[in-house]
Amino acid sequence: MRPPRPRGEAGVTDGQRPRAAREVFDALGVAYEEAYGSSPTHRRSVEWLTARLAPRSRVLDVGCGTGRPTARALADAGHLVVGVDVSPVMVEPATRAVPDAVFRCADVRDVSPAEGAYDAVCVYFSLSQVRRREQIDLMGRLAGSLSPSGLLVWATVPVDGEDVEHVFMGHPVRVCGFSARGCVALAEDVGLRVLERLETVFTPAGPFAEPEPQLFLHCRRGARRPV
């Protein structure tokens, strides 16, 4: 998802209704994987995580999509993966592609895992249609779901705005997010230590190919900042 442009400037036009995340990804299906699955930085990020996990670690994949590349790579490495996605059209091929993992269809905003339930959490490009206040709350819950010294990987397009109208792969959406500095601050506020920060520009495959900035934060559970 490239940085949103103002309404009427090659973005959402009058008469287009911004669509909810489930509508968008139900419509896209495997086309999303075909457009974004080749990202070398995403694959490097998953490799960074798998290299640091103990055998048979418990991993939560938030916004798992079709299960590739993230859940597939983690399951192949022998880890116990639970994937969550709002789109049943995504969850169905994920279940076929990664039979060793467990997938369920749910809104990421409703994800409330138990304290210390997971050794790692993946959040790859799954929060861009979640309002900023809800992103903060969700990241706090996900950080709390990590075991002591557990790992969390968060990838996003660093856009500082709320409900910005935009067209994503041909679909009108509303985008919410933070600047790169804001993402780092959010991670630290919820008790994560940023171990590595990767910034890149990726051009997805297909007819909607336009370069987009991407931010990857590799984090470890530490201590929440005092209020």
Write the pLDDT tens digit of every residue in 54-103: 999 999 999 999 999 999 999 999 999 999 999 999 999 999 999 999 99
Q: In terms of pLDDT, which residue wins out, 81 or 8?
A: 81
For the chain, the domains span: 21-221
Q: Which helix (H) or strand (E) holds 212?
A: strand 212-221
Helix (H, G, I), strand (E, B) or coil at 168: strand
Q: Which two tokens stand for residue 101?
A: 């993992």
**Pairwise CA distance, residues 84 & 105, whole Å:** 6
Strand partners, 118: 146
What's the mean pLDDT in 131-156?
97
Give tens-digit pLDDT for 152-174.
999 999 999 998 887 777 778 88
Q: Which two tokens stand for residue 26?
A: 């139900």
Answer yes or no: is pLDDT of 127 > 80. Answer: yes
Cα 90 → chain centroid: 14
Instruction: Tell me which CATH homologous superfamily contains domain 21-221.
Output: Vaccinia Virus protein VP39 (3.40.50.150)
The pTM (predicted TM-score) of the whole model is 0.87
Q: In terms of pLDDT, which residue wins out, 109 or 218?
A: 218
